[in-house]
Structure formats: structure tokens, C-alpha cells
Amino acid sequence: MRLLAVTHGPAVQPELFGDVAVAEGHSLTGWDIRYQGSPPGGFDAVLVFGGDQNVGEELEHPWLHEEYEALRGWVADEVPLFAVCLGAQTLAHALGGTVAPLPVQCAGFLSTTLTDDGASDPVLGSLPRTFDALNANAYGFTVPPDAATLATASFAQAFRAGRCAWGVQFHPEVRRDQVLEWFREERSPPRPLDELAAELDRELPAWQELGRRLARAFLAAADG
């Protein structure tokens, strides 16, 4: 398959998802929407990753409008789509959900549970019914109208819209140094970095195995 990876900065790349896609023989084209504009068509599936931008910052980041339009088009055309963190938030917003700041910024692992729809989903159903998922976000989304809620923690974690568009708030694609870099750049990190590093050392290897499993499940669904 020909995959398009929409990104929003150098620290939010496909990472483990890219490794799995290439290992399975798929081609992966990166597209930094901040500079390259509206994403091109003609791809078999699309991945949209995170960023430090937010829904509601369209004056500062006018390319967000292009992203919303592209997301609506992919959903309408039933192009398989998997969106992570900011990508899930822009997808939720584009389809009529809401995106707003969380009461507390997340930086670490949250106990997450699949709903019944999630357990039977061809992609999210590849995960255990309950798992600890890495979150790194200050904003959350509400599930769009007519979309299925697939996973929850203290707030919505995953949904499926249409036939083949998935959005997840958590980060299944990450590497250790990447996560630490996100918070090292903040003036006031939400928790001490040495504490976060210790948690990553304990939890990340198992989480990365689940991330690879999720990537393979999406690719299989997209190729089906």
C-alpha cells in the first residue's frame, strides 16, 4: 500500500508505526502540513500524528483549516485513516465533536478500557480489554456525532468514525527519547522529567509492543 503520514513538526513523526509499515513492505510518504499545504490524494491509507498546536488556534496556524477539510474528505471517501493525539482532535473537530483543555495536563500512562464496540473493533480490538496507555496532552476531545466510542480513561481515548477512520488520544507510536523531548521543551513540565523517565523505563517496552500490534491491525484493516 501507499501510505501518507501527515505530520506537524520534527518531534512528532511516524516512529514505530513507520517501522512497522516499512517492514511489511508498504511505502510511506511524509507530509508536513505546516509547510506543504493541503495533503495530496491518491494514497491507499493515511496516518495523522500529533503536535504542540491545538484546535482553536487557527489564526496562528491557518493550515488547520486545510487539515479539517482533508480529514472530512478522507472520511467521506472511505480512505482508511488512523489519527493520533492532535490528529484525533482535529478529526473529532472536523466531524462535529468538541476539543477543549483538560482539567489537568497528561504526561504518562493512564489506565484505559475498551468499550464493547472497541473490543469488537478490527483495529482497537487488537489491544487487551484494559491497558496502560501513554498520554501526552493538555487537550481532549468529545466523540463526534454518529461515531463509536472505542476506549475511555478519565476522558475519551479512542473512536471510529464512518467505516474506516480511527482517532486515538494516546500515543502508540512513541520512543522514549521522543517523549522526554516533548516535555523538556516546556517551561513548566507537568511532572519532574526524572520521574517521567523512570516510568517510561518501566512501562514503555510493553506499551511499544501494543503499539506495534495496533499498527499491524490498522494496516491489515486498510489492506482488506
pLDDT tens, residue by residue, 180-209: 999 988 778 899 999 999 999 999 999 999
The pTM score is 0.97
Rounded-to-10 torsion of CA 64, 207, 156, 159: 70
Angle of CA points 152, 217, 99, to nearest 5°: 35
CATH number at residue 41: 3.40.50.880
Rounded-to-10 torsion of CA 149, 101, 66, 179: -90
Q: Total domain count for the chain?
A: 1
Domain residues for the domain of 149 are 2-223
CB-CB neighbours of 54 under 10 Å: 19
pLDDT tens, residue by residue, 52-75: 999 999 999 999 999 999 999 999
